[in-house]
Each structure stands twice: as C-alpha cells, then as structure tokens.
Amino acid sequence: MLSKRLLTTFLVFASGLVAEAGHAEFLRVGGAAYQTPSVKVLAVDSGGMRGIFILSGAPTAVQLFDLPAHPKAGSASVFLRFDPTTNSFPEIITPLKTFKVKGSFAMTMGKNTRLVVDTASNTTPYISIVDSSLDAPALLGIVGTTVAVNASGSRAVDLLEAQIVGVGSSIETYKLGENGSISVGNSPLTSDRVGVVTEVTNRCREANAVILDPKASLRLQQILKEDSPANASQLLQLVKGNAAESPLADLILLRVSKDTIVGFAYANGQFVVVKNVELPGSDSNSPALCTMSVVRVDG
C-alpha cells in the first residue's frame, strides 16, 4: 500500500506490540501506535524516515490486524513525512504519488475518518485524526510526531480537533481515494500540492498581554458583575498581580483562533481555554486582557 521501506518500518515496530487497556477510544498498542477497529496510526522514526502513518479501512479486531493481509479494497492510507530541521510536514505520501504540503488542510479518508493538519496555529504543526464510526467519535491529536491528545466524545472533538483558521467556508475538504488519488469536490486534484497558507492573530499571544490564571479569571467575572466604585482599583490590582511571564509558554497550543486558544498543560495533564476579554473603555492600543479556564473533555 505504501513503499516497501515504510511497510518494513511499520512491521518491525508492530512485531512487538502488546495491546494495552485504556479509557480512550484509540487503543494504545505500543509506544507510538494507536488503533480503533477502523483506523491505525503510527508515529514512525526509523531508517531516516520520520512522520505519521495513517490507515483507514474496514473494521478489524485489534488483535487480528495484519498490515500485509489487510484488504486494499475499502482502505485508504497516507504517510505525512516530518522534517525536524524545518519543524514541518513538507510532504504527504499516498500509494499513488507524493504531494507537497503548502499549508493547512482537511482530508477525508473513507466514510468515517477525517484528517486535519493545522500549520498556522503553532510553530509545530498540529494534526487531528477523528474516527466517527464508533458510538462516540474518537480523536487523536498529534503535535509534530508526538501524540498529545487521546480523547473521545463530541465535546472532545468540538474542542480539540484541528482547524483551518482564518479562511472561509469556500475551502473544500480533500478526499483521499482507495488508490491514493486526491480529489476536491467532484474533481481530481491536478496539482502536486495540498493545503492553503493561513495566518492566525490572537491578542493573547502578544508580548504585553496579561493572562489571568483560573482563580483570577473567576475573580474578574465577579468584579465585572458587581456595580461598585471599587471595581476600577480591584481590577488594577488583579491585572498587576498577573502581569508576569505568559503561561502560554507552558502549554502545547492545540487550537488558536482570533478570540480563543485551546492548550494542553503537559505538566499536569489539564486542558485549558484562554479567551480575550474586551473591557469597557479599552481599545486596540491597550494591552490584551485574557482569562484562562480549565475544561474537561470527557463529559
């Protein structure tokens, strides 16, 4: 389905896998291999080849999955090659040909698998793979070649799936065919490249932005609700107490839009949402004031 070198790399890695029980819908079956009955994902780093291999096909029990024997009919596979020197995915390789990656893109693989690559939100691209064939959709989120998110449920997908930000609804989703061809709408892709270049601006990422921690963010909500002459001084004290180094440095940024940042705090395993707050009397010249809240994605 892919080149012999990629296939051999996968088989060498998979030969020692032992199924590991877990709560997420993507079952971790080894150090860098994850599976649902319909989707197989492997982070490859061997023989000078580094990247993410994704296979979508007919449901198969995890214990019975065998790549060489897996039927080609009804299956689709890609390899996203990662270049650590540029911190990017320069190519996406299908069984048919190699395409250059020129920006963010979304792609369907079969009926129930969706791949989204966001190259704009972070210095390292964020990839999400969603399997919607299960009772609850499952999502695997990958930063570069490191799995950062393994979650299930509609709320998790809504919050953590990668996005193509800064573009309108006119951007079509690519469709990957069984033979490795790529189409856009009903037309085959005739160029050798995929993706669109996008740019994300979020004021909470500015150097002088003040980001309130979760406790201070709750206090801000209380201050804004109270009708008191002391509001201005309380707000000033709150801002001064949080005008330190930005906590974004401690987060893996998963999604960034104009108003919202979704991040993963690897130190404690929490997901956080950062939002810009527009205060009365503030303008574009005022430092951005942002709130931070901890969110659950499993309910």
* Predicted TM-score of the model (pTM): 0.80
CA–CA separation, 131 vs 140, rounded Å? 9
Helix (H) / strand (E) element for 11: namely: helix 4-14
Classify residue 196 by its DSSP letter.
B
Lowest mean pLDDT among 69-78, 82-91, 240-249, 266-275: 240-249
* pLDDT score of 18 more than 90: no
Q: Is pLDDT above 50 for 238?
A: yes
What percentage of the chain exceeds 90 in pLDDT? 36
Are β-strands 98-101 and 193-194 bridged in parallel, bridged antiparallel, or unpaired?
Answer: parallel
Tell me 104's DSSP state: B
Q: Whole-angstrom Cα distance, residue 103 to residue 148?
A: 21
Classify residue 225 by burial, with Cβ atoms within 10 Å: 0-12, 13-18, 19+: exposed
Give the mean model confidence (pLDDT) for residues 247-253: 82
State the angle between helix axes of 214-225 and 231-241 in degrees (0 to 180), rounded to the nearest 10.
170
3-class secondary structure, 239: helix
- 132: helix, strand or coil: coil
Nearest 5°: the CA angle 184, 187, 190 is 85
